[in-house]
Amino acid sequence: MQYLNNYWDALTHVFKQSSLEGFFVVIGILAISLLLSVFMQERLRMRVSSNTMNWLLGAVPLMAVLTLQVYLIMMNNNQLALTETNLQLIIFLYFLFILKNRVQLVFEGLTAVGLLIYFVNMQHPSVGRFALAVLGAIAVILISAYIQKRADSIIDHPWKYLAMILLYANAWWMMLSLLYPNITVAKYLALITKFIIFMGVIHILNIFVRRMWKHYITLQKNIGRDFLTNAYNRESFDSVFNEVFDAFSNNQIPWSLLLFDIDNFKQVNDTYGHLVGDEVLKQVTSSVQSTLIETNSSGQLFRLGGEEFGIIFRNKTEMEAVEAAEIIMQHIEEVRVPIAKDNTVLNVTVSAGVSEQKLEDAKALDLYGRVDSYLYTSKNEGKHALTTSNWTRKYN
């Protein structure tokens, strides 16, 4: 009974008014940091490399923690209270689940190691306490890496989530207790309990945020996609096309445009009807999208109208886009559309043109017009062909 009384006294002590105020501050910092992360991904992804973007996103949790630490120091007469350290751990753990960014692991690992060195220099602990702190630092890194890798599956299972936050909190406090050698078992358990309760509240809020975000993403995808083929529509193409064109003009980030259309498509509609024509469009789209995923080509497929399609290849030169285009055309050749009334199948081919943006392209229409002319060169050469800046290749 005495142990329970000690635990209850410790729990009421760590849950003071300033803790609740600090928790609301954490929620605000998390919201602002998430908005900053979304802004960077939307506005900077075409202006910086993917590696630079990863480092920028990975630094967001660290900056959020430093912001909170400044607030806590100001509120505690230039001293960081033991009971408020949990608030900083909440930020680190929350972003492990949300961002799933490996660079964050680097920053968190460096933070753990840096704090360990700092605590050892301050306290000069015994061998036993030093070993416990080192074990805690190693556990922080390993558990953080596991959470980052399996974030989605952990979030979707309450017991896994509870187990992970319990392990995460214990790992950090094994190391942090080095700074507080007189901490009691009751207070240690109270601090862990406080962390679990706060993370539970964060989890409930995050479930709501994730549902709203998924709904928003679904709406965005539906608005920007072609109803028949589920490829991105012309409006989406115009938006992305202008975005990557401006990114190249400002920062010379390479990208290429592929335009293609289905050979003899009008004849297919006239001969077999629009239902067969629709099936051709859907199967071609499915083939191209599967190829883009399988080849990891970073291409976005757009239906521009009728049987004409476009693919924007981010961060690809013309020759790299040509390699992807040839694989795409090869896979389209394998499409077989059944014709019920003739008991036969219809083979499909496409004609295409491709080019990268060049320094002499003063406006977006310069590039689009050039690629469009390459497409018509392919059609005039007998169709089922690919034209680039240097050559036209016909496929049998």
Give residue-wise pLDDT tens across range 162-220: 899 899 988 888 888 777 777 788 888 888 888 888 888 888 887 777 777 676 666 65
Q: What is the mean pLDDT of the chain?
A: 84
pLDDT tens-digit map of 106-152: 888 888 888 888 878 877 778 888 888 889 889 999 999 998 888 88
Closest CA relative to residue 309, chosen from 268, 279, 340, 354: 354
Q: Is pLDDT of 65 > 70? A: yes
The residue length of the chain stands at 396
Question: Which residues, other chains included, contact 62 with Cβ-Cβ below 8 Å and sequence gap of 6+?
Answer: 104, 107, 108, 111
pLDDT tens-digit map of 227-263: 888 888 988 898 889 888 888 877 788 899 999 999 9
Residue 167 pLDDT: 92
Residue 83 pLDDT: 53
Closest CA relative to residue 206, chosen from 264, 158, 258: 158
Residue keyed to tokens 């700092």: 118
Closest CA relative to residue 172, chosen from 112, 100, 123, 241: 112
Euclidean distance between CA atoms 182 and 188, whole angstroms: 10
Catalytic residues: 307
CA distances from residue 37 to 23, 30, 57, 96, 101 in whole angstroms, order as listed? 21, 10, 6, 13, 11
Euclidean distance between CA atoms 93 and 201, whole angstroms: 13
Three-state secondary structure call for residue 356: strand
pTM over 0.85: no
Q: What is the mean pLDDT of residues 366-392?
A: 92
Select the highest-mean-pLDDT range: 37-46, 150-159, 202-211: 150-159
Tokens at 65, concatenated: 């923690």
Residue 82 pLDDT: 52
Residue 374 pLDDT: 94
Q: Which amino acid is at 194?
A: K
**% pLDDT > 90, the chain:** 24
